[in-house]
Amino acid sequence: MKAIVLFAVLAGLVPEAFAKKIEKKKLPPKFGEAFSEPFVWCEVGGPPGDCLCFEPLPCGTTSCRTYDEELGELERVLKENKKNFTCKDAEILSCGPLRYIHCNQGKAGERLMVFDEKGKLRAMRRRSDTVEFCQNKAFISYAGEVTSCKPLVRMKKLKGKAKPPKAPAEDYPFSKK
């Protein structure tokens, strides 16, 4: 089995991050702590999949779309009203100097992107109804870092009628300590 995975990585069929065994840590990261390697933290005694996934940003630190680029793309796709686009609720939120773009995909999951005051992608939280993150160990993935700002304030509703999502700091382990 290891030989097959190694061949797939070398052949470029599987990204190396997915081929390496993901480390399990005893504590989740602190607010604002950047993740350079993927890892999981699992609640002791929790059910299978009751872990949180922590990963670097999928686009790295330099090739991510800016806030304006991401918002422009979302607005373009919403305007085209493509049937295969699954964003049921879309909105722009803020908290202090941070700006957020939220897309609720219903049963397919949710994505909350966090941008700094210069428009640079700083963090992302994704949720899924299936255990798909960090090699099928978690329903929730934090990428980049976990931001501590709360609550989120809706600036503009782009689509749908749902309430704004909770800020990452409002549903994060140890956020009340």
- 98: tokens are 């941070």
> CA angle, corner 110, sides to 164 and 143, nearest 5?
105
Please give the pLDDT value at position 48. Answer: 62
For 21-35, write each residue's pLDDT tens digit: 899 998 889 999 999
- Report the alpha-carbon distance of residue 87 to residue 94 in Å, rounded: 19
Contact 136, 76 (CB under 8 A): no
Q: What is the pTM of this model?
A: 0.83
Please give the pLDDT value at position 115. Answer: 97
Beta strands in the chain (DSSP E): 23-25, 39-42, 51-55, 89-95, 98-104, 110-115, 121-127, 138-143, 153-159
* % of the chain surpassing 70 pLDDT: 83
Give the dihedral of Cα atoms 100, 105, 111, 113; nearest 10 deg: -30
* CB atoms closer than 10 angstroms to residue 24: 12
Residues of the chain with pLDDT under 70: 1-19, 45-49, 173-177
